[in-house]
């Protein structure tokens, strides 16, 4: 039975309750359940929309329609839904292959007996295994969905796990080339399949179906509508667009200050210096080890005098020996396991439960006392998937629910902890570097990166699609470990080539950040670590990873691109402001700005940095030229000043010291003005 109530279209048929409502400009929220009523929004990423929209509802017997601006939904007598744009063009329809189809004009019977929405109960609970199916369209392209370890920008043909892992971020929003955006508003473990014969969304354990859909004439309209209901990034702090220096790991306060002084002695621009893991006394103490960090306040003061912002790594892991473990255990602030001891969760440690408000409040108090009150303002929120042993999702339970039901929200709540803590201190330009995220994390200042990836050209190629898809998933703040994390030997010529190509790419990413676990491992005395040596993270580290660590040739190329980046920063700050105001991705595919050009929808290995800079990274070992496409208009290569007209393919020289980058004339003047030496 179809009814209209509170400006929403409702359908009750047997066990299923369906509700469709206007939810933001040109957008609809769709929910269904086989329970008596819908659940509250504690697991939802949707905020109250900036403008809800004005729904027009019509019911004609067993068929109903709801329209909100440029999108409408038809609910047929069988319960099947079809979505249309404002011109009546079909955008998306459910997959319904059922024999019984009375009064459904144009629909054919089928012996398959497959219905669009399948709720399979977990016996004895109020949870279901949910599958929702849509018709596939040949030629349709899908973008977004967070980042996965693959080089594909277009995800058509991909099956994606909906779960968080180290180097995998699941953001279940996709932008379709057919003119709509679709957000699966469900943090349950599951999968999304973009097949040629079927598009399917699946949740392993959930109480209800919940998704949001919008229609737009351009990708920008779709992205802005999505940002309006899931959140936009805060204003980017000025230091965020500069150069970030990091490695695994600086062991002492003196080492950090020596690195900072060397950057300043060489006249190199640097904005952020990162203090990585195991600077603490124990995991779960959340404080500096006084043996290696005797005076953090003095360190922070000296760094700020040099114009450098310090950042410290914060893990959610808790050791039994931590001074906070007993209290957190007693107060229910730790993740629980369904079977076995909780200390198998991560090595010999366990995790704080970031979905518990009391746990967040307690941990922030430790961060404030031991870091914030000593001058630290920037936090690197690592290990926040959480990286549970073997990803045995059925074995973990949070304050918010089981891992199967709620696991993907953990990183969002971890970012929320720091955002709300810093907000209470009166800050507004809040940024946290974080290894994982879910929809809505961006409004808590999440700057994401691609996790602990390998140091080779194959991983570099994956970064280009990852950065663009994260931008289209609502995350304009994105970065990557320049050079990759694992496996880069500083004495290897092969790795040096990979590093410099990555560095050039990194200079034209939203955030420009050097990081990695460089080989060989070294001792506190700077000697190479040998098998059999006593291994303690307190006294060992990866090899040096500063720009001068790889020889003079590599250093000069790095230096060149550091100053190009420095001159780009005013332009980047403008793009960051658009991200804050509208949700506009800073790094984006060419089709974002040129949707009417059919050629750009095929291009996956070049991108725009804002509207006026086009970047074509060199992604293969030994390559000294590359082919690229220029969209319409006049483009100038920043290295040579060569002016080319767009709408065509060109082949550009790409020696080791050169990445093909083209800019609009007015932006080029800003990038090229002034010489390098004047920037010291």
Q: Tell me the pLDDT band of 535, cut-offs 50, 70 and 90.
A: low
pTM over 0.85: yes
Q: Tell me the pLDDT band of 679, cut-offs 50, 70 and 90.
A: very low
For range 482-488, the mean pLDDT? 95
Q: Look at residue 230 and give its three-state secondary structure.
A: helix
Tell me how far the alpha carbon of residue 667 is from its chain's centroid: 28
Alpha carbons 419 and 417: distance in angstroms, whole number: 6
CB 486 within 8 A of CB 458: no
Alpha carbons 591 and 589: distance in angstroms, whole number: 5
CB 310 within 8 A of CB 299: yes
pLDDT of residue 106: 63
Residues labelled catalytic: 382, 385, 452
- Lowest mean pLDDT of 192-206, 480-494, 515-529, name the range: 515-529
| 663 pLDDT more than 80 | yes
Query: Within the chain, which residue ranges are assigned CATH 2.60.40.1180?
Result: 587-679
State percent of the chain over pLDDT 70: 97
Q: Of 127, 316, 301, which Cα lies nearest the Cα of 209?
A: 127
Q: Tell me the pLDDT band of 608, cut-offs 50, 70 and 90.
A: very high
Q: Using alpha carbons only, give the angle 285, 286, 288 rounded to the nearest 5 degrees.
A: 100
CB 43 within 8 A of CB 401: yes
CB 322 within 8 A of CB 334: no
For range 639-651, the mean pLDDT? 96
pLDDT of residue 678: 36
Q: Torsions phi, psi of 97, nearest 5?
A: -120, 75
| 326 pLDDT more than 80 | yes
DSSP state of 277: S
pLDDT of residue 100: 60
Q: Tell me the pLDDT band of 675, cut-offs 50, 70 and 90.
A: very low
For range 418-442, the mean pLDDT? 98
pLDDT of residue 355: 98
459 token code pair = 């991983």
Task: Compute the half-sphere exposure of residue 637: CA atoms within 13 Å on the CB side of its CA.
Answer: 17
- Lowest mean pLDDT of 1-5, 270-274, 309-313, 534-538, name the range: 534-538
426 token code pair = 């009166």
For range 382-386, the mean pLDDT? 96
Q: Using alpha carbons only, give the angle 266, 271, 274 rounded to the nearest 5 degrees.
A: 100
- Lowest mean pLDDT of 90-99, 170-179, 277-286, name the range: 90-99
| 103 pLDDT more than 80 | no
Query: Within the chain, which residue ranges are assigned CATH 2.60.40.1760?
Result: 2-215
Q: Tell me the pLDDT band of 570, cut-offs 50, 70 and 90.
A: very high
For range 173-186, the mean pLDDT? 98
pLDDT of residue 342: 84
For range 176-192, the mean pLDDT? 98
Query: Within the chain, which residue ranges are assigned CATH 3.20.20.80?
Result: 238-329+345-393+415-582
pLDDT of residue 312: 98
pLDDT of residue 528: 82
CB 516 within 8 A of CB 482: yes
User: Angle at which helices 493-507 and 552-582 pack, to 10 degrees?
Assistant: 30
Q: Using alpha carbons only, give the angle 567, 573, 578 rounded to the nearest 5 degrees.
A: 145
Does domain 238-329+345-393+415-582 match CATH 3.40.1710.10?
no
Q: Tell me the pLDDT band of 525, cut-offs 50, 70 and 90.
A: confident
Let me know how many helices (H) and strands (E) the chain has, helices first: 11, 42
Task: Compute the half-sphere exposure of residue 476: CA atoms within 13 Å on the CB side of its CA.
Answer: 31
pLDDT of residue 677: 41
> Which stretches does DSSP call E strand in 150-300?
159-162, 169-176, 180-184, 190-194, 199-206, 209-215, 243-245, 272-275
Burial of residue 549 (number of CB atoms within 10 Å: 0-12, 13-18, 19+):
middle
Angular region, 293: left φ>0, alpha ψ -120 to 50, beta rest = beta
Task: Compute the half-sphere exposure of residue 329: CA atoms within 13 Å on the CB side of its CA.
Answer: 16
CB 115 within 8 A of CB 101: no
Q: Of 570, 581, 653, which Cα lies nearest the Cα of 612?
A: 570
Q: Give the pairing type, strands 401-402 and 432-434.
A: unpaired
pLDDT digits (tens, 9 = 90+) for 340-368: 888 777 777 899 999 999 999 999 999 99
User: Angle at which helices 665-672 and 552-582 pack, to 10 degrees?
Assistant: 130
Fold for the domain defined by 587-679: Immunoglobulin-like (2.60.40)
pLDDT digits (tens, 9 = 90+) for 29-67: 999 999 999 999 999 999 999 888 889 999 999 999 999
Q: Give the pairing type, strands 27-33 and 16-22.
A: antiparallel
Alpha carbons 488 and 363: distance in angstroms, whole number: 35
CB 628 within 8 A of CB 660: yes
Does domain 2-215 match CATH 3.40.50.1100?
no
């Amino acid at each position: 039975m179809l009814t209209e109530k509170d400006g929403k279209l409702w359908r009750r048929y047997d066990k299923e309750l369906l509700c469709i409502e206007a939810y933001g400009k040109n957008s609809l929220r769709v929910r269904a359940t086989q329970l008596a009523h819908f659940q509250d929004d504690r697991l939802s990423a949707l905020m109250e929309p900036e403008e809800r929209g004005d729904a027009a509802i019509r019911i004609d017997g067993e068929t109903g329609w709801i329209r909100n601006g440029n999108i409408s939904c038809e609910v047929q007598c069988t319960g099947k839904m079809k979505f249309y744009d404002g011109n009546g063009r079909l955008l998306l329809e459910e997959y319904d292959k059922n024999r019984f189809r009375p009064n459904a004009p144009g629909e054919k019977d089928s012996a398959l007996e497959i219905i669009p929405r399948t709720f399979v109960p977990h016996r004895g609970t109020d949870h279901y295994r949910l599958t929702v199916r849509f018709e596939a369209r040949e030629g349709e392209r899908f973008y977004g969905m967070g980042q996965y370890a693959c080089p594909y920008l277009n995800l058509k043909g991909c099956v994606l796990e909906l779960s968080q892992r180290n180097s995998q971020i699941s953001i279940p929003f996709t932008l379709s080339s057919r003119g709509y955006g679709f957000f699966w508003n469900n943090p349950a473990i599951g999968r999304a399949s973009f097949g040629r014969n079927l598009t399917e969304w699946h949740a392993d354990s959930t109480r209800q179906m919940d998704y949001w859909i919008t229609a737009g004439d351009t990708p920008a309209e779709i992205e802005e509508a999505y940002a309006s209901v899931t959140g936009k990034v805060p204003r980017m702090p000025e230091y965020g667009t500069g150069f970030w220096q990091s490695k695994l790991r600086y062991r002492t306060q003196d080492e950090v200050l020596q690195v900072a002084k060397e950057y300043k002695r060489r006249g190199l621009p640097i904005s952020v210096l990162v203090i990585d893991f195991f600077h603490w006394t124990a995991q779960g103490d959340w404080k500096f080890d006084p043996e290696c960090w005797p005076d953090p306040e003095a360190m922070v003061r000296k760094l700020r005098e040099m114009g450098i912002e310090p950042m410290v790594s914060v893990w959610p892991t808790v050791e039994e020996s931590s001074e906070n473990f007993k209290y957190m255990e007693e107060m229910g602030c730790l993740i629980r396991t369904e079977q076995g001891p909780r200390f198998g969760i991560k090595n010999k440690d366990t995790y704080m439960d970031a979905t518990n408000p009391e746990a967040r409040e307690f941990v922030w108090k430790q961060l404030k006392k031991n870091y914030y009150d000593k001058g630290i303002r920037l936090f690197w929120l690592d290990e926040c998937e959480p990286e549970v042993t073997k990803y045995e999702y059925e074995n973990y339970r949070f304050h918010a629910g089981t891992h199967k039901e709620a696991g993907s929200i953990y990183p969002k709540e971890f970012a929320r902890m720091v955002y709300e803590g810093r907000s209470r201190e009166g800050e507004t330009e809040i940024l946290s570097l974080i290894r994982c995220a879910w929809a809505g994390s961006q409004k808590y200042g999440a700057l994401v990166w691609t996790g602990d990836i390998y140091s080779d050209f194959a991983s570099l190629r994956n970064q280009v699609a990852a950065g663009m898809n994260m931008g289209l998933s609502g995350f304009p703040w994105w970065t990557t470990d320049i050079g990759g994390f694992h496996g880069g030997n500083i004495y290897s010529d092969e790795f040096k080539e990979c590093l410099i190509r990555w560095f050039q790419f990194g200079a034209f990413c939203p955030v420009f950040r050097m990081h990695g676990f460089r080989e060989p491992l070294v001792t506190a005395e700077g000697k190479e670590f040998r098998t059999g040596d006593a291994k303690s993270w307190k006294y060992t580290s990866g090899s040096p990873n500063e720009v001068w660590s790889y020889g003079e040739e590599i250093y000069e190329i790095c230096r060149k691109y550091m100053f190009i980046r420095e001159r780009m920063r005013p332009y980047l700050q403008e793009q960051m402001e658009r991200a804050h105001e509208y949700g506009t991705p800073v790094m984006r595919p060419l089709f974002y700005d040129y949707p009417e050009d059919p050629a750009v929808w095929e291009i996956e290995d070049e991108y725009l940095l804002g509207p006026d800079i086009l970047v074509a990274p060199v992604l293969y070992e030994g390559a000294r030229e590359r082919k690229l496409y220029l969209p319409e208009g006049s483009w100038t290569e920043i290295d040579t000043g060569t002016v080319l007209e767009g709408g065509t393919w060109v082949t550009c020289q790409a020696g080791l010291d050169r990445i093909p980058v083209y800019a609009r004339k007015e932006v080029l003047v800003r990038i090229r003005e002034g010489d390098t030496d004047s920037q010291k």
